[in-house]
A and B are shown apart, each in its own frame.
Chain A
Amino acid sequence: MANAPFLQPIRDTPFAHSFNRRDFLKAQGAAVLAAAAGCSVLLDPALAKAEAWPDLAVAKGAPGPATRAAVDAMGGMTAFVRPGQQVVIKPNMSFSQPPERAVNTHPEVVRELALMCREAGAARVRILDHPLQSAEMCLVQSGIQQACSVLPEVSVHTLSAARFFRRTAIPFGKQLREAQVMQDVLDADVLIAAPVAKSHSATGVSLAMKGMMGLILDRGELHRRHDLHTAIVDLNTLLRPALVVVDATRVLSTNGPFGPGKVLQEDTVIASRDIVAADALTVNMFEWYGRRFESRQVRHILLAHERGLGSMDVDSLDVHEVAA
C-alpha cells in the first residue's frame, strides 16, 4: 500500500528546516482527511485536541502504566490509530537476553502499546524486528512474545528471510537511496517506534531513529558503503513512525547495544510525535558512560535536526511530565 501515511514526505518539498507539530498534523491529517472525506477538520477528535498536545511527554512509573500515561499525555492512542487500521510496532528484541539486561524493550511497554492500539480499534497489530540473534530465542528471552500472547489480533515476529522484505526507493536519501524494507511495514497504516534507551558503540546511542535499521534486510550496507549516521537519517526519511515511545524504564548506559553494561533504573517512558525530539530528550535526560551528553553529540540526531526531520532543541519544546 503505497499511501501509508508514514511513508509520505511531510511536505512536497523536502523537510523544512524548522519543524513543529503543525507540520506533523498536516501529515497525520492528510490520510485522515482522505479517509474521512466530508468530515470537517474541526469534527475530527484528534485534530480538535491538537492545541493541547505537548511536543513530548515524560511519564514516570512502572513500565506498563508509564507507557499508558505517556501516550495519553500525547492525546491518547486514538490520536494515532483509527479503527480498522493495521499497526506495526517496532521494539528492540534483537538479542536473546532477559529484560533486566536492558538491551530489549521491556515486554510490558510493548504489551501496553499493543493493547492501546487494540483499544483504539486497530484491526491488527504486528510487533516486528529483524533480530541479530536466534529469532526464536529472541522472542522467548525478551519476554515480548509471552507478554503479548494473550492479546487477540496481536502477534510478535522476528523476520530475517529475504522474502519478507521488498526493495523500496528512498527519494530523500542522500546516500542510502533504496533499501529492502519489511513488506508488513510498507503495507501497514501506522508505524510506532518503541525502542529501549541504550548506548551503542558505533552511534553513541541506539534509540528510535537507529532502531529503524531493524526493519530492513541488509544493514551491513549502511556500515560498509555509507556514512552510518547519514544513512540512518536517510532511512528515517522513509520510515516515519506516527508515534515514538522510548522505553527508559531501564537505560543501558554503557557497553551497548548488547552489553552487558551498566543498567540505570530510570522508570521513565518518553513519548513524542517527533522522532528527533524523542531521541534528543532521551540523550539529554540520562547519564551515558558516567557523563552527560548533549543530543548534538549524537551525529545522526544532529543531522536529522539539520535536515528538518524534527527538532533536537528540546529546551524550546513543550515537555509534559506526568506520573503514572
Chain B
Amino acid sequence: MISVQRLIQAISLFCFLALLWLAAFPLPDWAPVDAFLRMDPLVLLGTVFAARSWIPGLGLSFLILAATAILGRFFCGYLCPMGTTLDLTDRLFRPKHNDPANPARLKQSNGLRRIKYLLLFFLAGIAALGVSAVFIASPLSLITRFYAMLVHPLAALTSDGLLHLIRPLALHQDWTWAAYAEIPRPRFSTQWFVLTFFLGIFALAWFSPRFWCRYLCPSGAILALVGRKPLMRRMVADACTRCDACRQSCPMDAITVDPRETRHDECIACLNCVRACPVDAISFGSAIKPVRTPDPFLPRRREALLAGLAGVGAATLTLTGLAEVRGELLPGNPMPPDLLRPPGALPERTFLARCIRCGLCMRACPTNTLQPLWLQAGVVSLFSPGLMPRRGPCLPECTTCGDVCPTGAIPSLPLFEKQWAKIGTAHILRHKCLAWEWEKECLVCDEVCPYDAIELRKIPEVGVSVPFVRGNQCSGCGFCEYHCPVRAASAIVVEPMEALRLDSGSYKQTGQAIGLRLNIDPKDKAFTAVNDNDSMNDDMTRPAPGFTF
C-alpha cells in the first residue's frame, strides 16, 4: 500500500510541475507559479540579506519555518520537489540493498553532515557583502532549473515530434488541434552543464540515499536548526527489541546506534521507521518530557568563522572581476556589449542580489529570448537571465518574466509600464545591412519594429531607402535583430545602451521625462495623433519608400 507520505510527495511534485507548466505566456492570474520557490528558507534569508530589503512574497517561507518548529523537517520529506526527485532517482542510482560494498551502510557520517551548515555560513558570508550565491545551493532554485531548462525542452521536443508523426492521421480524422498545434520548443545553452551537475547529485546516491539532503542542502540546514526540537517527533516505546530495522530504513540516517534515540534535526518525518518496525514500537507524537537530540550540530567557532570568511572572500573576489558588472561607473565603463537584461530588471547590483537563477523567467518567456548567462558577465552573473534577440524578440504585450519572478529581481510591471522599460538600443551595422551595403530593398527591420523606431531616408549615395534608428523610440525589444535576414550575425543589433532600470518610480514618467517615445498602446489617442502628424509630414517631404519613379 502506498504510504501517506509517498502520496503527499507525489501530489506535491505534481503541483510543482503543474505550476511550472502554467508559468508561460499568457500567464493565468490565479496560479501562484512561484509558490514553491518562495517556500525555500534559503531563498528568503539569502535574498533578503544580500538585497538588504524585505521582499514580501518570500514571507511564505516563514510559514514553513514556523511549521518546522512543530513538525520538524517535514518540508524535506513531503513538499520539497528536490527531495522527491532524489527519492525517485535514488532507486536508479542506489547499489543493491544488501551490497556489503555500500559504504554508507558501514560508517556513520557525522562529519559530512557539517558540510550543509558550513555551506550555509559560506552563503551568509557572501550575502554579507551584498552578493547573492543562493543559486549555487538552493534546492528549489536548482530543481526548478533542472525541470525548466533540461526536462521541459526535452519533453517539448518529443511532444512536437509526436504531433508531427501523427499529423497525417490528424488531418485525415479532422483533429484540427493536433494537426496544427505548434509546441514551443525552447532551447537553452547550459543544458549539458545542468545535466552533468544533476547526474553528479543523483550519483551520490551510491554513498547514501538522499545524500544531498543529508549532507549538502543549506536549506535543510536552516530547517534543521529550526526543527531540532520539534513538537511532533519520533518516539520509541519500550517494546523496542533493538532489531535495527528502523535504522536500516531511515533515508536520513537520523536514528542512532541506539534505535530509541533520534536525531530530530535530521528526521524528515517520512515514517519509514514506523512502517519498518516489526513490533510497532515507533510512533510520531508529542510528549511533555524534554526532547533530547543526541549529538546535535553545534558549529565549532573556528569552522563556522572560516566558512563565513571564505564567503566574504569569495564575494570580494567577485568585486574585482573584470567581467563582473556591478552598475557603478568604472572609468571607461567596461561591460559586455551583449548583456541585455529582461525589461524592467532592477539596476544590475540589486538585480544580481535578488536573482536566484531559478530559470522561471526563462521557462515563461514565450519567445525563448531569455537565456541563462554563462560566464560572459562573470561568475556573479552565472545562470542569470539575459536577452538573446537572435533567438527571439521581447514581445511588447508580454509581462510574464516579471510576473513569475519570485524575488522581484524583475519586478511585476503593468503592461503600460513594461512597454516603457527600455532594454537597450538597436544599432545598424551599415557594412552588413542589405540596404546600406548592397542597395537591396529589404527594410525588414522597419517592417517588424513594434515601436516604429526605424526611420527610412533617401540619401544621395544609396539607390534605395536606408534605415536609421530613432534612439528615443527604440525599446530594445529586438524584433529587428531577430528578423534581420542578414546571416549569421544580424545587421542590426541591440546593445544595452540607455537601458532604463529603475529601483523605484514609474518607467513611463521617467521615460517621458528623458524624452523617450515608447508608447505603443493603440488606445492612446495622443500617441496616434502624434504619429498621424508625422505621417502627414512624410507625405510632403519624404519619398514614398518602395515605389519607383
Which residue in chain B gives the minimum CB-CB distance to A253?
Answer: B535
B87 at the A interface (CB under 8 A): no
Q: Indicate whether A134 sits within 8 Å of B397 (C-beta atoms), given known contacts A101-B522, A228-B442.
A: yes
A137 touches B395 (CB 8 A): yes
Q: Is A119 an interface residue (CB 8 A)?
A: no
User: Are A257 and B487 in touch, CB under 8 angstroms?
Assistant: no
Do B522 and A133 touch (CB < 8 A)? no
Instruction: Write out the residue numbers on chain B whose beta carbons fall within 8 Å of the beta carbon of A288.
Output: 544, 547
Known: A201-B443, A202-B443, A254-B535. A291 touches B544 (CB 8 A): yes
Interface string of A108-147 (1 = CB under 8 A from B): 0000000000000000100000001111110000000000
B465 proximity list for chain A (CB < 8 A): 201
* B70 contacts A by Cβ under 8 Å: no
Q: Is the CB of A289 within 8 A of B539?
A: yes
Can you pick out 6 interface pairs between chain A and chain B where the beta carbons lie within 8 Å of each other? A132-B447, A133-B448, A153-B174, A204-B548, A224-B440, A227-B440
* A199 contacts across to B, CB distance below 8 A: 544, 546
- Least CB distance from B505 to A in Å reads 28
Residues of the A chain whose Cβ atoms lie less than 8 Å from the Cβ of B532: 260, 262
Indicate whether A298 sits within 8 Å of B547 (C-beta atoms), given known contacts A134-B366, A137-B397, A258-B452.
yes
Nearest Cβ on chain A to B184's Cβ, whole angstroms: 9
Whether the Cβ atoms of B522 and A258 lie closer than 8 Å is: no
Residues of A within 8 A of B547 (CB): 204, 288-289, 293, 297-298
Contact A224 B434 (CB under 8 A): yes
- Is the interface on chain B under 10, 10 to 19, 20 to 34, or 35 or more residues? 35 or more
Contacts of A204 in B (CB 8 A): 544-548
Residues of chain A contacted by B367 (CB below 8 angstroms): 134
Q: A155-B176, A161-B160 are in contact. Are A289 and B485 (CB under 8 A)?
A: no
User: How close is B491's CB to chain A, nearest CB, in angstroms?
Assistant: 10
Instruction: Identify which of A200, A219, A254 gathers the most chain B CB atoms within 10 Å of its CB.
Output: A254
Given contacts A260-B452, A290-B536, is CB(A297)–CB(B549) below 8 Å?
A: yes
B310 proximal to A (CB < 8 A): no
Please measure, in the bound complex, the distance between the C-alpha atom of A201 and the C-alpha atom of B531, giving whole angstroms: 16
What are the residues of chain A within 8 A of B531 when measuring CB–CB?
255, 260-261
CA separation between A124 and B180, bound complex, in Å?
A: 14
* CB atoms of A157 and B539 under 8 A apart: no
Quote the shortest CB–CB distance from B519 to chain A (angstroms): 11
A289 to chain B, nearest CB (A): 4
Q: Is the C-beta of B446 less than 8 angstroms from some C-beta in chain A?
A: yes
Task: Check A201 against B538 for contact (C-beta < 8 Å).
Answer: no
Using known A-B contacts A163-B164, A220-B485, A297-B548, determine if residue A228 contacts B180 with beta carbons closer than 8 Å: no
Min CB distance, B212 to chain A, in Å?
38
Any chain A CB within 8 A of the CB of B456? yes
Name the A residues within 8 Å of B18 (CB-CB).
Answer: none
A98 within 8 A of B: yes
| A321 CB-CB contact with B under 8 Å | no
Within 8 Å of chain B (Cβ to Cβ): is A180? no
A sample of 13 more A-B contacts (CB under 8 A), given A288-B544, A288-B547, is A96-B397, A161-B182, A202-B444, A204-B548, A224-B486, A254-B539, A255-B531, A260-B452, A262-B536, A289-B547, A290-B538, A293-B547, A297-B547
Chain B's closest residue to A294 (CB) is B547
B483 CB within 8 Å of chain A: yes
Q: Size of chain A's interface in residues, with CB distance under 8 A? A: 52
Whether B19 is near chain A, meaning CB under 8 Å from some CB there, is: no
List of A residues within 8 angstroms of B167 by Cβ: 163
**Neighbouring A residues of B398 by C-beta, 8 Å:** 134
A64 adjacent to chain B (CB < 8 Å):
no
Smallest CB–CB gap between B445 and chain A, Å?
A: 9
Name B449's contact: one of A202, A223, A224, A258 (CB within 8 Å): A258
Instruction: Find A201's partner among B397, B450, B484, B545 (CB 8 Å cutoff).
Output: B545
A260 lies within 8 A of B180 (CB): no
Contacts of B434 in A (CB 8 A): 223-224
Partner of B440, one of A100, A223, A290: A223
Residues of B within 8 A of A258 (CB): 446-450, 452
Interface presence of A245 (CB below 8 A): no
A260 touches B528 (CB 8 A): yes
User: In the complex, how many angstroms separate the beta carbon of A41 from the nearest chain B beta carbon?
Assistant: 33
Interface presence of B503 (CB below 8 A)? no
Q: B522 and A205: CB pair below 8 A?
A: no
- A-B pairs, top 9 by smallest CB distance, nearest first, are A220-B485, A290-B539, A204-B546, A289-B544, A204-B547, A254-B535, A202-B441, A223-B442, A223-B485
A133 touching B535, Cβ below 8 Å = no
- Bound together, the chains give a CA A155 to CA B549 distance in angstroms of 42
Residues of A within 8 A of B298 (CB): none
A 182-193 binary contact with B (CB < 8 Å = 1; else 0) = 000000000000
Q: Are B447 and A133 in contact (CB under 8 A)?
A: no
List the A residue with the shortest CB-CB distance to B547: A204
Partner of A203, one of B395, B535, B543, B546: B546
Contact with A along B436-467 (1 / 0, CB 8 A): 00001111101111101000100000000100
**Cα-based distance from A220 to B449 in the complex (angstroms):** 16
A157 to B170, CA, bound (A): 15
Contact A260 B447 (CB under 8 A): no
Give A135 to B543 CA distance when docked, in angstroms. Answer: 33
Query: When each residue 469-489 of chain B gets 1 if its CB lies under 8 Å from chain A and 0 otherwise, what string results?
Result: 000000000010001111100
Name the B residues within 8 Å of A253 (CB-CB): 535
- Tell whether, in the assembled complex, residue B441 and residue A255 are in contact, meaning their CB atoms are under 8 Å apart: no
* A160 CB–B CB distance under 8 Å: yes
Contacts of B483 in A (CB 8 A): 132, 220
B540 in contact (CB, < 8 A):
yes
Closest to A257 in B: B447
Known: A224-B487, A254-B538, A260-B528. A201 touches B452 (CB 8 A): no
Question: Which residues of A (160-174) have their CB < 8 Å from a CB of B?
Answer: 160-161, 163-164
Bound together, the chains give a CA A220 to CA B164 distance in angstroms of: 25
Shortest Cβ distance from A96 into B: residue: B397
Point out the residues of chain A lying under 8 angstroms from B540, CB to CB. Answer: 290
Q: How far is the CA of A96 from the CA of B367 in the complex (A)?
A: 15
